[in-house]
Every structure is written in structure tokens, then in C-alpha cells.
């Protein structure tokens, strides 16, 4: 299949992730949508390295994106669990402790 | 032919999973549909000839991140006491309301127009190379990781250590007598 079909899939994935981040109110659901955005970026890198560059750098960059996504998920969910222990809520509008 | 079938089924799994992830009401179901979407992305990597990235996607995302998400959903599911706080916000919300979805779709349309504008310029500039025949990428990625990209490789190990220690410290149980 061609170059453009992969880019279309990646763009749709990114746009759906943006909609999910903005529309959801649950912090865990927002983190789920963030994973969609990161996957769209990694898919774009691998697509370009197949059809344009033909070297291995896109694959390495996709691997680093996966590493950063794993670290982000671990720390983000730890923060969510801590927030739930303190406030007993995971509504994103309840995270007001840093407001003056 | 087989390549085409694999691409279409993977793309369908990716997009249907993503749509259901952002629109289904139950968060646990959303995590399972995210699993479907990530499996589709792994299939797309396979059709692109990126075998190592596909396997790492399966191991790290499907085996790690989604399980972590499911654990977080289960640990935050049961809230004791009342369901809403003093401002009337539901404590464990499932979906946004109509207004947030409208804002999300409008913003996504803006982002989509920007991306399309960007792609028209990029397509005018980039020349497509000859698609190479399939060859295993594992040894090339390994040599590249300890050769050209060795600094990023070491920094990512420090990042993972920091994330491990940070997650353990942030989510440790609270001590009351302090």
C-alpha cells in the first residue's frame, strides 16, 4: 500500500487523540488518548523511513517514542493515583490545588 | 494481496479502536479498545517492514502500558462516600459533555487543516525513494543504538530509572502520623 494511505491513518489517529484529550473529563481517559497521539507520531516516523529515507533512523526514533511513552504512563498514573488518594476524585476540573 | 489485506485490517482495527476509545462510556472498555488500536498499529508496523518496532510495540504497549492503565482504572473505581463534590462535579466521570466534545472537534478540525497545509508543502518537496526488499532490521537497529545513537540510548536508560524511582515515590502509601 502506498505512502499516502499510511499518512491518512496516522493523521486520523492523531486527530482522534486530540479530540479525546480535549473532550474527556476523566484523567485516565485523557492519558489513554495521549497514547493515541504518541502512536500516530511513531507511525509517521516509520512510514517516512520506509518510503523516503530508507535508513534505520526512523525505527530508532519510534523506539525512543515508545520508551518515553512508557515512562510518561508510569509517572502519570502514579500522579493520578496519588491525586485520587488525596482528593478521592479523578475529575480533571477538581485538580485545583495549585490555584492561588 | 496479502499485504493489502493486512494493511486494511490493521488500519480498520486502528481507527475503529481509536474512535471507540474516545467515545465509549466505560473507562475499562476504553482501555480494551485502546488495546485494539495499539494492535492495529503493530500490524501497520509489520506491513511497513519494521519487525523489531512491531514486536517492541506489542511487548511494551500491549503488555505494559495498557495493563498499567487497567490497574489504574481498577484502583480508582470505587470512591467512598458521596458521588459528587461541593461544586457538583462527578468524582469518577465517564465522558465529557456536549460542550467539551464540540470544543474538541473544533480544535481537531483546526489541527487537521494545519496538518493538511503542512503535508501539501511536504509532498511538493519530498521525493519517494525506491522501496527496498524486506530485510531484518534487528541487527541494524542494534548496531545503530550503540553506534550513532549511543548518547540517546544512555539518556533513555537514565530516564527510565528516573521514571521508576519517581513513580514508586509518588505513589507510595500515605503515612498518617507525620
Higher pLDDT, B168 or B80: B168
Instruction: Answer whether residue B52 shows pLDDT above 80.
Output: yes
Mean pLDDT of B66-81: 77
Residue B48 in domain: yes
Instruction: Cite the DSSP H helix spans in A1-100.
Output: 3-23, 27-48, 57-87
Task: Decide if B69 and A32 are in contact by the 8 Å CB cutoff.
Answer: yes
Instruction: Answer whether residue B36 shows pLDDT above 60.
Output: yes
Q: What is the DSSP string of B136-172?
A: --HHHHHHHHHTTTHHHHHHHHHHHHHHHHHHHHHTS
**How far is A97 from chain B, CA to nearest CA, in Å?**
15
**How far is B177 from chain A, CA to nearest CA, in Å?**
15
pTM of the model: 0.88
Cell readout for A60 is 530508532
Spatial distance between the Cα atoms of B31 and A73, rounded to a whole number of angstroms: 13
* Residue positions counted in chain B: 178
Higher pLDDT, B86 or A56: A56
Look at residue B17 in the predicted model and tell me its pLDDT.
93
Looking at A57-61, A84-88, B14-18, B166-170, which range is the least confident one?
A: A84-88
Closest CB from A6, A19, A75 relative to B22: A19
Spatial distance between the Cα atoms of B43 and B12, rounded to a whole number of angstroms: 11
Residue B66 in domain: yes
Look at residue A45 in the predicted model and tell me its pLDDT.
92
Task: Decide if B19 and A16 are in contact by the 8 Å CB cutoff.
Answer: yes
Side-chain-side CA neighbours of residue B131 (13 Å)? 11
Spatial distance between the Cα atoms of B119 and A76, rounded to a whole number of angstroms: 32
Domain span holding position B67: 1-93
Look at residue B122 in the predicted model and tell me its pLDDT.
79
Residue B144 in domain: no
Instruction: Answer whether residue A43 shows pLDDT above 70.
Output: yes
Helix axes B27-47, A3-23, angle to 10 degrees: 160
Looking at A61-70, B75-84, B111-120, B166-175, which range is the least confident one?
A: B75-84
Q: Please answer whether residues B153 and B147 qualify as being in contact, where contact means their C-beta atoms are separated by less than 8 angstroms.
A: no
Measured between beta carbons, the chain B residues lying within 8 angstroms of A60 are 141, 144-145, 149, 152
- Which residues are CB-contacts of B101 (< 8 A; sequence separation ≥ 6)? A19, A23
Question: Hey, which of A70-74, A84-88, B168-172 has the most confident mean pLDDT?
Answer: A70-74
Residue B36 in domain: yes
Look at residue A62 in the predicted model and tell me its pLDDT.
92
Q: How many domains in chain B? A: 1
Residue B11 in domain: yes
CATH of the domain at B5: 1.20.120.1200
Measured between beta carbons, the chain B residues lying within 8 angstroms of A6 are 44, 48
Per-residue model confidence as pLDDT tens digits over B79-135: 545 566 666 666 667 677 788 888 888 998 999 999 889 888 877 777 777 777 778
Residue B165 in domain: no
This complex has an ipTM of 0.90
Residue B71 in domain: yes
Mean pLDDT of B152-158: 93
Instruction: Cite the DSSP H helix spans in chain B.
Output: 2-23, 27-47, 51-56, 66-75, 98-125, 138-146, 150-170
Nearest residue to A38 via CA among B65, B104, B112, B160: B65
Residue B59 in domain: yes
Q: Please answer whether residues A29 and B33 qualify as being in contact, where contact means their C-beta atoms are separated by less than 8 angstroms.
A: no
Amino acid at each position: 500500500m502506498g505512502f499516502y494511505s499510511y499518512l491518512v491513518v496516522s493523521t486520523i489517529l492523531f486527530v482522534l487523540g486530540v479530540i479525546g484529550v480535549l473532550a474527556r473529563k476523566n484523567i485516565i481517559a485523557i492519558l489513554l488518548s495521549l497514547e493515541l497521539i504518541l502512536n500516530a507520531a511513531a507511525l509517521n516516523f516509520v512510514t517516512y523511513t520506509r518510503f523516503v529515507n530508507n535508513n534505520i533512523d526512523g525505527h530508532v526514533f519510534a523506539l525512543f517514542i515508545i520508551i518515553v511513552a512508557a515512562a510518561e504512563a508510569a509517572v502519570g498514573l502514579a500522579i493520578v493515583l496519588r491525586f485520587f488518594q488525596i482528593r478521592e476524585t479523578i475529575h480533571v476540573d477538581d485538580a485545583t490545588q495549585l490555584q492561588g | 494481496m496479502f499485504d493489502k489485506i493486512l494493511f486494511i485490517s490493521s488500519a480498520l482495527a486502528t481507527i475503529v479502536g481509536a474512535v471507540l476509545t474516545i467515545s465509549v462510556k466505560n473507562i475499562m472498555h476504553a482501555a480494551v479498545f485502546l488495546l485494539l488500536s495499539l494492535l492495529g498499529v503493530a500490524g501497520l508496523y509489520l506491513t511497513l517492514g519494521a519487525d523489531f518496532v512491531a514486536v517492541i510495540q506489542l511487548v511494551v504497549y500491549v503488555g505494559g502500558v495498557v495493563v498499567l492503565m487497567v490497574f489504574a482504572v481498577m484502583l480508582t473505581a470505587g470512591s467512598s462516600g458521596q458521588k459528587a463534590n461541593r461544586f457538583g462535579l462527578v468524582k469518577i466521570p465517564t465522558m465529557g459533555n456536549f460542550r467539551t466534545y464540540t470544543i474538541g472537534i473544533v480544535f481537531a478540525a483546526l489541527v487537521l487543516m494545519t496538518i493538511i497545509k503542512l503535508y501539501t508543502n511536504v509532498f511538493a518537496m519530498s521525493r519517494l525513494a525506491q522501496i527496498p526488499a524486506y530485510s531484518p532490521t534487528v541487527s541494524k537497529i542494534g548496531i545503530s543504538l550503540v553506534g550513532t545513537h549511543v548518547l540517546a540510548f544512555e539518556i533513555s536508560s537514565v530516564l527510565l530509572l528516573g521514571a521508576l524511582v519517581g513513580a514508586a515515590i509518588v505513589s507510595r502509601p500515605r503515612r498518617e502520623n507525620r
